[in-house]
Chain A
Amino acid sequence: MRAQTDQQKTEDSKHLTMLTNRSKQVSNKEMTLAERMYLPAILGGLAITIRHFFMKKATIQYPEVKRYLGPVFRGHHVLKRDEQGRERCTACGLCAVACPAEAISMVAAERKKGEETLYREEKYAAVYEINMLRCIFCGLCEEACPKQAVYLRHDRMVPVVTSRDGVIYGKDKLVEKLDDRYVRNNPDVKATPTEPTLSRSVA
């Protein structure tokens, strides 16, 4: 029985070595005189560190230089317009239902005559608010939206909040500006299988 467990153990350890091929057996054998003199090892160490002194630095100067975070980054929300500049949102409320932080609230209204150039469907969101103190940027609203109306921009972050005034973003801050249309830069990268591509919404 015991022999069996021992064998099990060695098998286990073998398996562990195989995982990375980098594990080394610890040896506690006595140091040689050269090792006990420390100096050769210290000189070797100094050589290594001074090489790093002249290496290229990994730092990115953050606020001035920003890294591209990829097309899947979830940043500032945007309420998309369609090609003719009409708001897509129909105030169905699915985003608000999907939101785990309950950050989204809206008031629906009926489109009047003559407003066809403003809103795509007969129903639209008169008020659409996202509380940025509650939002966790999970992107579930984006996934829930049947009209491809709400997106989380990959190229812009919600700025840092220093006071409680103005943290509830209304339509003025959320609706896409006509001179500042949002497109995912790299439509080839499929972020998630469920992500609606922009081309599909043309119909």
Chain B
Amino acid sequence: MDLTVLIIKSLVILAIFGITLLIATYSTYAERKVAAFLQDRIGPNRAGPLGLLQPIADAGKMFFKEDFIPAQASKWLFILGPCLAMLTALMSSAVIPFGDSIKYASYDVPVQGLDVNVGILYVFGVVSLGVYGIMIGGWASNNKFSLLGAIRAASQNISYEVALGLSIIAILMMTGSLSLRHIVNEQANVWEWNIFTQPLGFVIFLTCAFAECNRTPFDLPECETELVGGYHTEYSSMKLGLYLFSEYINMFTSSAVISTLYFGGFHYPFMTQVHDALVGSLGDVAGHNVATLIGTVVLFAKIFFFIFFFMWVRWTVPRFRYDQLMNLGWKSLIPLSILNVILTGAGLLYNIKYATWAIVLVMVVLGATNAIKAPRRKPVAVPQV
């Protein structure tokens, strides 16, 4: 590989790494702000203007707390747990295409950590590894609550990975490629964004993404009311900080994957026209780079929306019971995603792109008729005083 390409590539990778960390840091701030706003409060506003230094203050607090390892804990595994969680969380953003490409002289370097042709499989593999961090940490704590939380996390992640994978298969069938860049480029036209061709797949994927991130309503692994603190009950100081941080990185990554798979990644309406106009006015290299930058900004706007959505849902939907969680995963989402795959296949056979809307239509009709036919709840007679 050429040295220039290497330098540009490493700059891109460093930038992605830094931005990932920065966004995860400020997600903690955003989470508290959004939570506060949804509850008619103001949220952190003491540290710095608008409380913007709050994450730094939090990190400082985390670092200065006592780093405690329980006497009966398995020491090295106890340390390995949060490291693994952090490592796997950081790895998964490597294959996401954050933009088109940067032109420099005769070089054309894609804005992406690395464009592997099995990109989505890589993401899945790394996400599945993420459960090791939780499992090892929970087990090494030598605490019943930690272990229960870890087991819950493991079984939940495994259950929802099935539906997650099946909902992706429909996209892979339509695209014919596992490369994330290829999937994004297939969605150049707005009406061919996968959200429009795969509405059901999107709902399933979104639900499973929530479960994979251990976010409410699927945050049973750290269900305080039942499990004290879940898998990180015994953790303190920056080890706890790493666990919490990795959760926010996971949130960022899954938002990025959702935007990439279903919302056209860095594509936006009239992108080619904008690109041509920029190239025409600024010249080939500069115009192309500015167009790439706009695409990247658009992608980040989508990502921020989904991060906000994660938080919005968190303060809306209460936690599921564990049996409800398993029922939803195994009895609803998996059959639905299989149906989705079959219908997508049929659609491909007869060349109908929007075939899966049939499922949505049928479900809406069924739901409506069922609701109409259902016996009305008698209004309770309230004796008037």
Contacts and interface: CB of A to CB of B under 8 A. Distances in A.
Nearest to A22: B382
A42 B316 contact: yes
A33 B315 contact: no
A50 B312 contact: yes
Contacts of A29: 375, 377
Contacts of A58: 40-41
Interface in B271-290: none
Contacts of A21: 382, 384-385
Taking each of B34, B38, B41, B366, which has the highest tally of chain A beta carbons within 10 Å of its own beta carbon? B38
A59 interface: yes
Given A33-B366, A34-B367, A50-B312, A14 B383 contact: yes
B206 to A, nearest CB: 11
Given A34-B367, A37-B367, A52 B39 contact: yes
B37 interface: yes
Interface string B191-222: 00000000000010000000000000000000
A80 to B, nearest CB: 39
A46 B316 contact: yes
A18 B383 contact: yes
Interface residues of B, number: 28
B370 A33 contact: yes
B383 A59 contact: no
Nearest to A54: B37
B370 to A, nearest CB: 4
B42 A49 contact: no
Interface size class of A (residues with CB under 8 A): 20 to 34
B380 A46 contact: no
B371 A32 contact: yes
Interface string B295-331: 0000000000000000011011100000000001000
B3 to A, nearest CB: 50
A112 to B, nearest CB: 54
A121 to B, nearest CB: 51
A35 B363 CA distance: 12
A18 B384 CA distance: 7
B204 to A, nearest CB: 11
B280 to A, nearest CB: 41
Nearest to B34: A53
A49 B371 contact: no
Taking each of A14, A18, A49, A57, which has the highest tally of chain B beta carbons within 10 Å of its own beta carbon? A49
Contacts of A46: 312-313, 316
A25 B381 CA distance: 10
A57 B42 contact: yes
B59 interface: no
Contacts of A53: 34, 37-38
Which 3 pairs between the two chains have the least Cβ-Cβ distance? A34-B367, A33-B370, A45-B316
Interface of A: 14, 17-18, 21, 24-25, 27, 29, 32-35, 37-40, 42, 45-46, 48-50, 52-53, 55-59, 61
Given A21-B384, A29-B377, A58-B41, 15 more contacts: A17-B383, A18-B385, A27-B377, A32-B370, A35-B371, A37-B363, A38-B328, A45-B316, A46-B312, A49-B38, A49-B316, A53-B34, A57-B37, A58-B40, A61-B42
